[in-house]
Amino acid sequence: MSGTHIKEHMEVIGADGVHVGTVDRVENGRIRLSKIDSGEGHHKGHHHFIDLGLVAEVEGQKVRLSANAVVAVSFEEEKSGKPA
């Protein structure tokens, strides 16, 4: 997946249809999620990233991942590329 069809404000969902986040933009082969989806505690208030390799397809205004939401969230990365 090149990311060219992924646009700002699209919803990112797991293979199970559960909300994972909202696209802020695509950069360096990863989807940068909006801060509003950053979670709680030390994860709150900054962007997390999903590798484009997890994208199964783009359906209208939704980016569907190849993994269920709970699994996809475990693959989220910090800006540095380290696990979230």
Looking at residue 56, its pLDDT comes to 96
Would 79 be classed as within a structural domain?
A: no
pLDDT tens for the chain, 84 residues: list them.
667 899 999 999 999 999 999 999 999 899 999 987 655 444 555 678 899 999 999 999 999 999 999 898 887 766 666 665
Question: Which residues, other chains included, contact 61 with Cβ-Cβ below 8 Å and sequence gap of 6+?
Answer: 9, 10, 11
Residues paired with residue 19 on neighbouring β-strands, in sequence order: 13
Would 50 be classed as within a structural domain?
A: yes
Structure tokens at 11: 């919803």
Would 17 be classed as within a structural domain?
A: yes
Question: Which residues, other chains included, contact 41 with Cβ-Cβ below 8 Å and sequence gap of 6+?
Answer: none
Looking at residue 41, its pLDDT comes to 42
Looking at residue 53, its pLDDT comes to 94
- The number of domains in the chain is 1
CATH number at residue 47: 2.30.30
Would 81 be classed as within a structural domain?
A: no
Q: Find the domain containing 20 and state its range.
A: 11-74
Would 80 be classed as within a structural domain?
A: no
Looking at residue 76, its pLDDT comes to 73
